[in-house]
Structure 1
Amino acid sequence: MPELPEVETLVRELKPHVIGKTIHKVIIYRSLPILPLKPGKFIQSVESKIIVDLTRRAKYLIFHLKPELYLLTHLRMTGKFLLKNHLKLPGKYHRLWFHLGKQKLLVFEDVRCLGKMELATKVTISQKLSRLGAEPLSKKLNISYFHKRCNETIRPIKAVLMDQSKIAGIGNIYASEILFKAGIHPERQAKFLNPLERKQIIQTIKLILKKAIQLQGTTVSDFRRVDDKSGRFQNFLNVYGKVGQPCPKCAQLIQRIVQYQRSTFFCPHCQH
């Protein structure tokens, strides 16, 4: 699933091509389960709108439309936006086409059809966004905020990092990498981490995510940028997906465990 760095990469790459463009025509090749509205209603609401901005909140892309309307998109497992010149026929997994004029096409592609789109007249009224926690790269994620979030739970620290109501945008890949870099075992209970360990985790969150954004995200399976190219951070992963391989720090073998039905990768020697 695309995480914060992948979605931020898409936003940055899409922006120069879509800001100021009018959505002249929308073609829906598959609406369910992507759209909550009936296809005709969605088309009527979006066509003729101008894209005035494109932002990100956690793992959501937010298209700011004029007259005032917001198109919120969550890519889930295999969703992606691609920029294409005029196409005569849709690709096998094309779900929506947004015609932006001058033969420019914004394509939403989704192999597994798990992506979601919704419309809102105001971003603040979106229930999905209102439930999200602090942005990892914002000033809100500070020592005071993190202390409170850790002290209110005895869950493992990896589960806390992936809890979108506490910290929004971190998924399985980056949670494993953050904890390795910070030297914290993923099964440690958040409540019992000491202040120095918590500070180290916050600093590492920001460091890892900034580097991943700089390298256009991580491609380990489905993520592609708007030009259909891969990200590059996968070349710098230390533990994720590397079970049985030597730790880059101590050479002991990376281990894998399952937490909350998700794989966790770590070094038993370097992470305490």
Structure 2
Amino acid sequence: MSDPLEILLTNDDGIDSTGLRALYDVLSEQGNVTVVAPATDQSACGRSMSHEVDVEERDLGYAVYGTPSDCVVAGLAELGPDPDIVVAGCNKGANLGEYVLGRSGTISAAVEAAFFDVPAIATSMYVPAGETPLSQIDLGAEEYAEATRVTSYLIEHALGAGVFEHAAYLNVNVPLPDGEPAPIEITRPSKRYEMDAERNGTRVHLKDRVWERMDPDTLPDPEGTDRRAVVEGRISVSPLTAPHSTNHHETLTALAESYLETVTANDS
């Protein structure tokens, strides 16, 4: 009999979040789950890192007074056994588009794992908020059923299928459950970026306008993107790499080669 899977579970909503608990309950049926999660909500903290953090043992696992990246480093290097996979989530609210990849604490936890050469899955749930702020929307464990089901499926099948030989981590975004399981679409992150700012006296209000255009009938994102898939009711799975790749650039290479000659001539 093969050894049970070792799973490191974290998030950015905090160790007491419903989404983390829902994943813990389901993933515990697949293997040994070690929870190392922030003690408080760390949403949108990106890959912020601390030099030292306090840790408490809770019923569910370790509560770290730090960021998701802190949790992954602490979990992989000290607090847990060597995991077969790191799972971050389930986040309340989607993480869609290229611009959130460096902003989301959920995704940043997966990226941190990738630098340790450990496969990772970041799972988030799209919640159509409308006029109601996401923070005021309460979700029960049953509403994470789609997210926990697909995360469990990917853990069971993706590791053995060699998916992580080509992807460092998977960014998974899931629509709210709607009776029947939703299909999976392999996607790429949307390139849409619509940040805005407005000054009011001594304050500047920053607004993310991307979320204002999430009507399936008028969604501007093309086919194959994560935003379109989720808004139309499909599970978006984006296979991504870390660290980010660099491109060969002939013009920049030429500038580099002429640098010393140019500055020497200018100084003479």
TM over 0.5: no
TM-score (norm 1): 0.24
TM-score by length of 2: 0.24
